[in-house]
Structure 1
Amino acid sequence: MGNPPPSRRTVLRAGAGLAALTLVDGCSSDGSGDAGSTASPAGASPAAGGPSPAPGGPSPSAARVAMPVESQPHTRTFMAWPALEEVWGDQLPDVRGDIAGLAQAIAGFEPVVLLARGDQADQARQQCGSSVEVVELTVDDLWARDTGPTFVTGPQGLAGVDLNFNGWGGKQTHANDSQVARNLLDHYGIPRIQAPITGEGGGIEVDGEGTLLATESCWVNDNRNPGTSRDRIEQAFEQLFGVTKVVWVKGVAGQDITDCHIDALARFAAPATVVLHRPGTGTPPDVWSAASDQALQVLGSATDAKGRKLQVVQLPEPDFDLIQGSGKNFLASYVNYYVCNGGVIVPRYGDQAADDYAAGVLGDLHPGRKVTQVSINHIASGGGGIHCATQQQPAVAGS
């Protein structure tokens, strides 16, 4: 059965059996990334859309890996060059322009590696300039947060979790993007952990102190993890990302391509502090405002892994009437920002009052970092944002 037809990302407005996770040494040089054996979780079938593991392979659980919080130092940021006209149509040149501008902005703070197809690499280099390194690796689209590995660290150093990307539950063509995590880790010789579940990096948010946020709509969904309970997914989170508490919000299933990723809804700005996307003043109630209301209720009464009550900072969306070319698929979430070495990269949509308010709030929440606003309206027209388009590699000794 072939891949489903391509589609654009659409709007986000309006367990003990899991101990045997797969650890693969990502050191082959043939570009396949198949550098070791893989092991299926005991008592579990491979997740939907993921590869079928073979017997053998050590468990990383004994290594006590954990996902560092985004505000910790990075070695580099990974991004990807959008490749397909069939996905973006006549917007592709403008979307590439946004990606180039975003890469250049981040490169002012830390190294940026942009993944691009071999026949598009020269164009990417020309548009991004010398401050951005372009690595030839075949991609389909720009969403590096979801297609790339999610990095973890432990006593043995750096590793990358491969979440078995399946096109957000088979909603978009992904023959190449499904291999990005494997091939990137192979290129850099970084060990690969194959997850026993299927999902995306934008579907999780950690505080670095044992707490993880996620939406049920994204993970407890048969398009990614058929027949898998929330409890088993939570156990996988604990093993993969070193967390001890998962705070679930409901989210919205079937209304956007991500099934409501947490990174456009709620993020940790600091330990015990969550910034929450909220509807703009006068926005009519809909499924998205209901999801935000439900998240506000849950987060307002939740505690983190250390027992601290969460402080919720509400961040309203801009006025869509003031955003040029927003369209029906536009994601206008200031929560989808990115923290890099010494900086906070914040979207600028065109509602100056809302843009400046968000930049001020996020600057206050990340003291000591320079706030840089970047126009990303063409990226946002595809239903994503700055955080969706980036993936950090945390700095560890020897990396």
Structure 2
Amino acid sequence: MSYRQPAEWMPHSAVWIGFPSDESLWLEDLEPAQREVIAFAKAVYAEGAGEKVFLVAAHEEAAQKARQLIGEAAEVICHNFGDIWLRDSGPIFIANEQEKAVALFRFNGWGNKYDLEGDQTIGKALAADTGLSILEKDWVLEGGSIDNDGHGLVVTTEECLLNPNRNPDLSREDIALRLKNDLGFDQILWLKKGLLNDHTDGHVDNLARFVGFKHLVIPIAADESDPNRDIYEEATRSAVDLGIKVTRLPSPGKITLDEEIVPASYMNFYIGNAVVVVPLYDAKNDKAIIKALAPLFPDRQIIGLPAHHILTGGGSFHCISQQWPA
């Protein structure tokens, strides 16, 4: 029986969350980023919600720090990795009516941009921890490059999945077939581009997220200075043309770091069993996004948490996590 990747809002049994561990990567942002990750992990942990939190540290020194900060809210495990973006370097869970398994795709540092020791092996180490069957795949795919509605519809971007720095020998048709065979998707919404200056080459989890069956959320520009205004509009048109319901959500607008525009996005939220945790950036729409998400998740608490220091590494809460379906 074929497997399919469950949707993120379906029940979880656990979640992995990467813990910033390497001072040479994070520099002065290491401890502030650690505190932001701990706050995220504590928010996901909810007594009685049935979602166990595993904080993943790269070495024992970082693991000890994580244990001091997290208390009883998570179990800290130690596996060598390059950096915390487990959504991309870790395995992807798949399931059918009888069993779960993990799909292990190749990871090449977002198109050979970042070659960090441990990022090639962390997926296999985490997969082994699950005790499930491991299905190794012979092509590059990152978890943040796709999002699905749990019923066979997946959204992605051409900028990422068709980028020659990932799978140069695979055509669009080849990749579509592999998405169907390996993850159970039978319909693909191809968006053109992701956010400006996104080193992942346009991961869709910064742009468009499913919140229900054939129901996407996509940002609307905060103002005239929003650098992703045209990208949001083009993505919305593509989704509507395919017959998908689209709800527009506030954007944080133009966010800069050292005078460079960075891909800050409220869409990088994590959907837990009891909460939805959304990154905040001291932007004018920080309160608006929490209010806008609430009716989409009436059975969950919407929690907004600062993510400035995690963003210096290039991502946010969704990028550093990977859920285990129940």
Q: TM bucket by the smaller chain?
A: over 0.9
Structure 1: distance between partners of 2:167 and 2:208 = 22
Matched, 1:115 2:56: yes
Q: Secondary structure at the residue paired with 1:185?
A: helix
Identify the residue that residue 241 of structure 1 maps to in structure 2.
Answer: 183
In 2 relative to 1, CA 111–327 (structure 1 residues): closer, same or farther, beyond 3 Å?
farther
Q: Which deviates more from structure 2 when the two are superposed, residues 256-265 or residues 190-199? A: 190-199
SS, match of residue 121 in structure 2: helix
TM-score for the superposition, normalised by structure 1: 0.76
Match of 1:23 in 2: none
Equivalent residue for 1:380, pick from 301, 311, 316: 311
In 1, Cα distance between equivalents of 2:10 and 2:252: 29
**Partner amino acid, structure 1, of 2:249:** L
**Number of the residue aligned with 1:334:** 266
Q: Deviation string for 1:33-61 (max 9, x for gaps)?
A: xxxxxxxxxxxxxxxxxxxxxxxxxxxxx
Secondary structure of the equivalent of 2:276?
A: strand
Query: What one-letter code is carried by the residue in structure 2 that aligns with 1:182?
Result: K
**Partner amino acid for 1:340?**
G
State the distance in 1 between where 2:44 and 2:98 align.
29
Does structure 1 residue 79 correspond to structure 2 residue 79? no
Deviations 1:151-184 (A, max 9, x none): 0012441111112111111111333012111111
Structure 2 distance, partners of 1:208, 1:257, is: 27
Deviation at 1:275, TM superposition (A): 0.4
Q: Does 1:128 align with 2:66?
A: no
Query: Unaligned stretches of 5+ in structure 1?
Result: 1-62, 303-308
SS at match of 2:156: strand
What's the counterpart of residue 29 of structure 2? 91
Task: Give 1:1-399 correspondences, 5 Å limit.
Answer: 63-108=1-46, 109=49, 110-116=51-57, 117-252=59-194, 255-283=197-225, 286=227, 288-302=228-242, 309-320=243-254, 328=260, 330-351=262-283, 353-395=284-326
Amino acid aligned to 2:234 = Q
| Identity within the alignment, % | 31
Deviations 1:338-385 (A, max 9, x none): 11112211222223x512211121111112111111111111232211
Deviation at 1:200, TM superposition (A): 0.5
* Structure 1 residue ranges, 4+ long, deviating more than 3 angstroms after superposition: 252-255
Amino acid at match of 1:148: G
Report the Cα distance in structure 1 between the residues aligned to 2:296 and 2:41, rounded to whole angstroms. Answer: 23
**What's 1:51 paired with?**
none
Q: Distance in 2 between matches of 1:364 and 1:332?
A: 23
Instruction: Quote the Cα distance in structure 1 between the aligned partners of 2:108 and 2:195.
Output: 16
Kindly indicate whether the alpha-carbon contact (under 8 Å) linking 1:331 and 1:381 is maintained by their aligned counterparts in 2.
Answer: no
- How far residue 222 of structure 1 moved from its aligned partner, in angstroms, is 1.5
* Cα 1:75/1:252, change in 2 over 3 Å: closer
* CA shift for structure 1 position 64: 0.9
Cα pair 1:263 1:336 within 8 Å, conserved: yes
Aligned mates of 2:312, 2:250 — CA distance in 1: 18
**TM-fit CA distance, 1:100:** 1.1
Residue identity matched to 1:87: L
Q: Give 2:90's aligned amino acid.
A: G
Count of aligned residue pairs for this structure pair: 322
Structure 2: gaps of 5 or more residues: none
C-alpha distance in structure 2 between counterparts of 1:188 and 1:377, whole Å: 32
User: CA offset at residue 199 of structure 1?
Assistant: 1.9
**Alpha-carbon distance between aligned partners in 2 of 1:164 and 1:174, rounded to the nearest angstrom:** 14
Structure holding more strand per residue: 2
Change (3 A) 1:174 1:210: same
| Pairwise CA RMSD | 2.0
Distance 1:241 1:189 in 2: 19
Determine the C-alpha separation between the residues in 2 that align with 1:190 and 1:326.
44
How far apart in 2 are the matches of 1:275 and 1:253?
Answer: 15
Contact in 2 for aligned 1:150/1:161 (Cα 8 Å): yes
Find the aligned partners of 1:239 and 1:254 in 2 and give their Cα distance. 31
| TM-score, scaled to structure 2 | 0.92
The structure number with the bigger radius of gyration is: 1
Query: Given residue 363 of structure 1, which amino acid in structure 2 is its aligned partner?
Result: A
Secondary structure of 2:106's match?
Answer: coil
